[in-house]
Structure 1
Amino acid sequence: MNQADHTYLQLCRYILENGTKKEDRTGTGTLSIFGYQMRFNLQEGFPLLTTKRVPFRLIASELLWFLKGDTNVRYLLQHNNHIWDEWGFQKWVTSSDYDGPDMTNFGLRSQEDEAFKAIYEAQMQRYQEKVLHDDDFAALYGDLGNVYGKQWRSWEGANGQTYDQIQYIIQEIKRNPDSRRLVCSAWSASDLEHQQLPPCHYAFQFYVVDGKLSCMFNMRSNDVFLGLPFNIASYALLTHLIAHECQLDVGELIYTGADVHIYSNHIEQVQTQLTRDPKKLPTLTIKPGVASIFDVELDDLQLNDYDPHPTIKASVAV
């Protein structure tokens, strides 16, 4: 049985039945609960939801972007990944260098006004092309500040030194698998003002027992319909990659969320997903010759037997 979809859908039902209406930074509005935990047995399959299609290559390229320590969306655009476009775009259109049509509240306006949506999409395409081909522009408006890649691979301490948290975790697992210090944090209070988006998944910890690697990740804020399926698969992939390098099997993936919410403009989509029966989970294969997590490329990852229900489209709240 596919417990991953069932566990996720149970959360969706719980929010619809018990969530509180709350306003939010984006102006969209949410149904929200506070405090929720889910567990996924990675031995049962790779937890990429089957009740709607979730794009694995986007998840994988984003994770590899984090692991490279990169914070510039150019790498993502080169891999046809547009997950972070809106955040860089927002940085540009609110700057004094922007000379195009007014993009105030572009996220909401593009959903409500078809004429504006066409204008917005033209400006977004202009932004993407400039990031890809203009080095100076990319340096200014492609970089999102000290987001995940920086914190994971180059955490800056009060002493001015930088620390590679991922490398430390891998070395410590190999040296002392019983360690209770296999922790990575992306939440740096001194960097919040320098981040285009403060970390939503702000910390994670690994645990080794019986030759299996488990991971628990924590989220301060979570868009359940669009974001959470990505987060589950991303941390499952990270667990597989580190287990692969450390010659371990995979164990459990544990999610702990704080403000867990469904945006008001996603409720219909969630209800559609709830009508669907889960299918068999896919499996993940990592090319055997890849020794280091830092050498992994997209073609080294193979998702097997993924046959989900069709995509359910929804707009991201920015």
Structure 2
Amino acid sequence: MSLADKIFVDMCKDILENGTSTEGEKVRPHWEDGTSAYTIKKFGVVNRYDLSKEFPAITLRKTAIRTCTEEMLWIWQRKSNNIHDLNSTVWDEWADADGSIGKAYGYQLGVKHQYKEGMMDQVDRVIYDLKNNPFSRRIMTNIYVHADLHEMNLYPCAYSMTFNVTHQPGDEKLTLNAILNQRSQDVLAANNWNVCQYAVLMHMLAQVCDMKVGELVHVIADAHIYDRHVPIIRELIKREQHPAPKFTLNPDVKDFYQFTTKDITIEDYVTGSQIKNIPIAV
């Protein structure tokens, strides 16, 4: 069965059984009807996914892998902060009349910085280092820029990636590992969505840098289940589990900026029924 299912189920059980409630506290999120959106939360959740063994899509319900990849490419490849450049509606809630989400996410990755090697943005810097200095302990991105927070329509949730390359004995290729740092996560709505999109990112970067994929470590400071999501989660984690799907990339793409969602192939993805109309706290 999918290891991602086991990780997800164990995490949800831990939150429900050992988490703390924010009920009665002053909280920012609210439901569409104006009521406060309380959570049960756990601090400091750490999940490890070995991408060399399987693609980490849960099978309890279907994760829209191409759609979450589209969002990832909007941020990391197009470096956009405008929903008109995104072929989905997931960011509509946070966009202004012109479609902008402010100086957030893709905007920050597209800002060029002066390095000894020249002017580069954060994505190009990562690719440069993976190709030219793979054993550096300084290969990372950070989009939680305090100077620009007042101009962001939503503070970044997944805000930092740290890449680390290892050389396994006997392997011809180096292995790409990464840590995804997230300050806050709505477990039902976003957990496997984020895991899958950053797993795809690692596959893409590994391919263009002639590496193998290794571990994705997901660190969540505040992993929470919203009050109105609790019964949905309880039903979800009791479902039948299936083997992980097979994930492949178009091997002909060697430039990160040439990838599209059409370069992804997902096979044998058997899942439980989709959960529709999940209430989202804003």
> Which letter does structure 1 place at the counterpart of 2:92?
D
1:149 and 1:162 map into 2 onto residues whose CA distance is 17
Q: In the alignment, which of 266, 272, 289 is matched to residue 229 of structure 2?
A: 266
Aligned runs of 1:124-163 on 2, under 5 Å?
140=98, 142-154=99-111, 163=120
State the partner residue of 2:80. Answer: 70
State the partner residue of 1:132. Answer: none
* CA deviation string 1:52-89 (max 9, x = no partner): 1111121011011012111110122xx2x11111112x
* CA deviation string 1:12-56 (max 9, x = no partner): 000000111114311211111111101011122111111111111
> Which letter does structure 2 place at the counterpart of 1:170?
I
TM-score, with structure 1 as normaliser: 0.79
Deviation above 2 Å: which 4+ runs of structure 1? none
> Which letter does structure 2 place at the counterpart of 1:25?
R
Is the CA contact (8 Å cut-off) linking 2:66 and 2:264 kept in structure 1? no
State the partner residue of 2:256. Answer: 293
2:161 and 2:182 map into 1 onto residues whose CA distance is 9
Aligned runs of 1:105-184 on 2, under 5 Å?
140=98, 142-154=99-111, 163-184=120-141
SS in structure 2 of the partner of residue 28 of structure 1:
coil
Q: In the alignment, which of 35, 56, 70 is matched to residue 61 of structure 1?
A: 70
SS in structure 2 of the partner of residue 204 of structure 1:
strand
Q: Does 1:275 align with 2:243?
A: no
What number of residue pairs does the alignment pair up? 262
* CA deviation string 1:247-276 (max 9, x = no partner): 111001101111110011111110111111
2:120 and 2:145 map into 1 onto residues whose CA distance is 13
Identity of aligned residues (%): 33
Unaligned runs of 5+ in 2: 30-35, 168-173
Distance 1:155 1:195, change over 3 A: farther
Is the CA contact (8 Å cut-off) linking 2:113 and 2:121 kept in structure 1? no
Q: Does 1:20 align with 2:20?
A: yes
Q: In the alignment, which of 142, 147, 155 is matched to residue 190 of structure 1?
A: 147
Q: Does 1:41 align with 2:4?
A: no
State the partner residue of 1:86. Answer: 93
Q: Following TM superposition, by how much is the alpha carbon of 1:277 offset from its aligned partner in structure 2, in angstroms? A: 2.6
* CA deviation string 1:93-138 (max 9, x = no partner): xxxxxxxxxxxxxxxxxxxxxxxxxxxxxxxxxxxxxxxxxxxxxx
SS in structure 1 of the partner of residue 137 of structure 2:
coil
2:93 and 2:136 map into 1 onto residues whose CA distance is 39
1:195 and 1:45 map into 2 onto residues whose CA distance is 35
| Cα-Cα RMSD | 1.6
Is the CA contact (8 Å cut-off) linking 2:2 and 2:58 kept in structure 1? no
State the partner residue of 1:30. Answer: 39
Is the CA contact (8 Å cut-off) linking 1:154 and 1:162 kept in structure 2? no
Structure with the greater alpha carbon radius of gyration:
1
2:246 and 2:28 map into 1 onto residues whose CA distance is 37
